Amino acid sequence: MEYTTLGKTGMKVSVAGLGTGGFSRLGLKSGKTEDQSAQLIHEAVGLGINFIDTAPSYGTEGVVGKALKTIPRDSVVITTKAFVHRNDEWWTPERVVATLDNSLRAMGTDYVDVFNLHGVYAFEYRHALEKIAPALLEQKRKGKIRHIGITENPIEDHNNEMLELAVKDPVWEVFMVGFHMMHQIARKKVFPITRKNGVGTLLMFAVRSIFADPPRIAREMREMAAKGLVEKSLGETDDPLGFLVHPGGAANIIEAAYRFARHEPGVDVVLFGTGDAGHLRTNVASLLKPPLPEADRQKIAALFGHLTNGVGLDGHMAPAK
């Protein structure tokens, strides 16, 4: 495994991070028991992954807690989250702190390494900063939170509108950002500032589902070409990303997507979800390979760097109201 420092937090973290939500939720969605899913966390730790991301809404904090019973707590970095606004209701500081306390109990730990405000929209940001952040700072002083972060919701916020606000405020030590081969907005809007200010970055949506579905890639490309969003030639082939697979390049499109995200300047941890040990090992192997050839990276940037339509940003939860 390769490790890096998560911004100014100073924490040494694996470049591969285990996400426990998404479409798999450590296999719970496909019928695994909590004990089986906890074993998957042990598999990940055995591969050198020391970064585990969860949230109450994922339903996996109990699984993380089971795994932590036999994993030294100080050997892993654990992150969880709380909403600030959901179902037309603004969360109070008291409710967020209660959520934190529930998470600690569920995981059987006295602290979380990063506590993120979850999927915050631009219109929610002032509430997050002015009402919730002071309470989180108090919990940090009490030792229940080591570092405070905030995550965007790229499924609907395609242009990093919330993070453009958040980069101005030093209370946030960690950002969770959506970024992939056909959604590169953060390259200009987020990463230059996080790198300058020492904000740690957690990357989501590196693959999601689109890059695992070649027919969908072709279908999306045809639709975008018809709208003039991408070159016409990309809509005239069944393999529009095939140029990435060649000797000296990637073995397949999924590998290319992980390598592209992993080696983007400004990215610290690439998160991925899984419900299968073989899939886990394959993803880690992809993330540990070298950068894509420079010509391929430049071609990806040239073909898709301008896109702002949110292609490939698939949701697995109902949108906030």
Q: Which is it for strands 89-90 and 112-117: parallel, antiparallel or unpaired?
A: unpaired
pLDDT of residue 317: 47
Whole domain around residue 151: which residue ranges?
Answer: 3-212+262-296
| Number of neighbours of residue 197 by Cβ within 10 angstroms | 14
Q: Tens of pLDDT along 231-285?
A: 999 999 999 999 999 999 999 999 999 999 999 999 999 999 999 999 999 999 9
- Residue 178 in 3-state DSSP? strand
Mean predicted lDDT score pLDDT of the chain: 95
Does the structure show a pLDDT above 90 at 98? yes
Tell me the pairing of strands 174-178 and 145-151: parallel
Mean pLDDT of 42-58: 97
pLDDT score for 208: 78
Tokens of residue 88, six digits: 């037309």
Assigned domain for 244 exists: no
The residues assigned a catalytic role are 58
DSSP secondary structure letters along 241-264: TGGGBSTTSBSSHHHHHHHHHHTS
Phi, psi of 36 (to 5 degrees): -65, -40
pLDDT band at 22 (very low <50, low <70, confident <90, very high): confident
> What's the mean pLDDT in 148-159?
96
> How far is residue 253's CA from residue 16's CA, in Å, rounded to a whole number?
18
Within-domain flag for 87: yes
Is 127 in a helix, a strand, or coil? helix
- For residue 154, tell me if it sits in a domain: yes
pLDDT of residue 318: 39
Residue 248 lies in a domain: no
Per residue in 198-231, pLDDT (tens digit) is 999 999 999 978 999 999 999 999 999 999 999 9
Q: What is the pLDDT of residues 159-182, one digit of tens each?
A: 999 999 999 999 999 999 999 999
Question: Can you list the positions of beta strands (E) in the chain?
Answer: 3-5, 12-14, 16-19, 51-53, 77-82, 85-86, 89-90, 112-117, 145-151, 174-178, 200-204, 269-273
Residue type, 240: P
Residues 230 and 221: their CA atoms lie apart, in Å, by 7
Number of domain units in the chain: 1
Pairing outcome for strands 85-86 and 89-90:
antiparallel
- Output the pLDDT for position 315: 66
Nearest to residue 304, comparing CAs of 256, 258, 241, 252?
Answer: 241
Q: Is residue 309 one of the residues assigned to a domain?
A: no
Extract the tokens encoding 156: 């609907």
**Which is nearest to 252 in space by CA: 197, 220, 221, 213?**
213
The fraction of the chain above a pLDDT of 70, given in percent, is: 98
> What tokens appear for 308 in the block?
């702002």
pLDDT (average), residues 79-99: 97
> Is 71 a member of any domain?
yes
Residue 221 lies in a domain: no
State the CATH number of the domain containing residue 97: 3.20.20.100
Q: What's the CA gap between 258 and 289, in Å, rounded?
A: 9
Burial class, 249, CB count within 10 angstroms (exposed 0-12 / middle 13-18 / buried 19+): middle
> Would 231 be classed as within a structural domain?
no
